[in-house]
Copies of this chain bind each other. A is one copy, B any other.
Amino acid sequence: MIFRQLVDIETSTYSYLLGCERTHRAVLIDPVASELDVYINLLQSLNLKLIYTLETHVHADHITGSGLLREKLGSKSVLHRDAGALCADLLVTDGVLLQVGDLELEVRHTPGHTSGCVSYVMADRVFTGDSLLINGSGRTDFQQGDAGKLYDSIINKLFSLPADTLVYPGHDYQGNTVSSIKQEMGKNPRLGHGKSREEFIAIMQELKLAYPKFIDKALPANQSCGLVAE
Q: Is A90 located at the chain interface by the 8 A CB criterion?
A: yes
Q: Is A122 located at the chain interface by the 8 A CB criterion?
A: no
Query: Considering the chains assembled together, what is the distance between the CA atoms of A99 and B99 in angstroms?
Result: 6
Query: Considering the chains assembled together, what is the distance between the CA atoms of A86 and B93 in angstroms?
Result: 11
Return the contact of A92 from the options B90, B93, B95 (Cβ within 8 A): B90
CB neighbours of A81 from chain B (8 A): 86, 91
Instruction: Give the number of residues in A that approach B within 8 Å (Cβ atoms).
Output: 16
Closest Cβ of chain B: how far from A172's Cβ, in Å?
Answer: 31
Tell me the residues in window 39-97 of chain A with beta carbons closer than 8 Å to chain B beta carbons: 51, 74, 76, 81, 86, 89-93, 95-97
Query: Considering the chains assembled together, what is the distance between the CA atoms of A176 and B96 in angstroms?
Result: 35
CB neighbours of A51 from chain B (8 A): 97
Return the contact of A76 from the options B90, B96, B99, B101 (Cβ within 8 A): B96
Can you pick out 21 interface pairs between chain A and chain B where the beta carbons lie within 8 Å of each other? A51-B97, A74-B95, A76-B93, A76-B95, A76-B96, A76-B97, A81-B86, A81-B91, A89-B92, A89-B93, A89-B95, A89-B96, A90-B90, A90-B91, A90-B92, A90-B93, A90-B96, A91-B91, A99-B99, A99-B100, A99-B101
* A→B interface (CB under 8 Å): 51, 74, 76, 81, 86, 89-93, 95-97, 99-101
